Amino acid sequence: MAQVAAENAARKAAAVRGDVVLGADTVVALEGRILGKPADERQAREFIEALASRTHVVVGGLAISRDGEQRRAAIATAVTFRNLVSAEVERYVASGEWRDRAGGYAIQGRGATLVRTVEGDYLNVVGLSVAMLLELVPDLREAA
């Protein structure tokens, strides 16, 4: 999964011209199956139901293109969902927050109510690990 996320981030960075370009991608995986962005409410419901009471992995891929060179990295965070009753799943799906979200949820919004625990970098689950970015580009630490 780390290779998939890093490669996707690298492609995004390569698609943009500029002196410094950052590409990022998030992959949500449950038992080796990648849960992309749900196509519709039915698939969003399927994803949330599959994640309920289980631990999945959120892998963030980063790639930075600078000075004609590209560097990549990936970080993984384990997220465990609570046991969800069908009414909770339906409320979340009805909210529409699942749209355009890997795995069909946004932990920084209503999706936080679905989660029991996060092991690792919370910001990775939100979408961009600042810690990994600072490792990838150490001179950014001076600007922080």
Give catalytic residues, as residue numbers.
Answer: 25
Nearest to 34 by CA among 7, 68, 10, 66: 7
The sign one gets for the Cα dihedral 9, 10, 11, 14 is positive
Q: Give Cβ neighbours of residue 138 (< 8 Å, ≥ 6 apart).
A: none
H-run or E-run covering 125: helix 122-126
